[in-house]
Amino acid sequence: MAQQITALDEPSRLATLRSYKILDTPSEPAFDRLAKLATHICGTPYAAITFVDGTRSFYKATVGFTADGTLGASGICNDTAHQSDLICGS
């Protein structure tokens, strides 16, 4: 079962994410390979390396679809950002 990250951890998570200076950067082959590997491991046609900064989701790499990100931090990307385990499935 996935371990939930509490709301108290959110400021620390966001500070750490922003310290990486990865938001709004161009695609990189290493992240593209990781996204492709995720489709293989999970047996899905789609995958994304997504960073959730609290107000939006930024897609660093995608497989099976194209997008730069979404406004708002809802849905599976936000849910995943608040768990410590891998979510894998179709």
Average the pLDDT over 13-19 and give the result: 93
Residues of the chain by 3-state class (helix, strand, coil), percent to 5:
35, 20, 40
Distance CA 46, CA 39 (A): 6
Structural domain boundaries in the chain: 7-81
Average the pLDDT over 53-74 and give the result: 80
Whole-model pTM over 0.75: no
Identify residue 6 by its one-letter amino acid code: T
Instruction: Number of helices (H) and strands (E) in the chain: give both, helices first.
Output: 3, 3
Higher-pLDDT residue of 88, 13: 13
Average the pLDDT over 74-89 and give the result: 62
**From the CB of residue 35, how many other CB atoms can be counted at a distance below 10 Å?**
20
Token pair belonging to 89: 């499935």
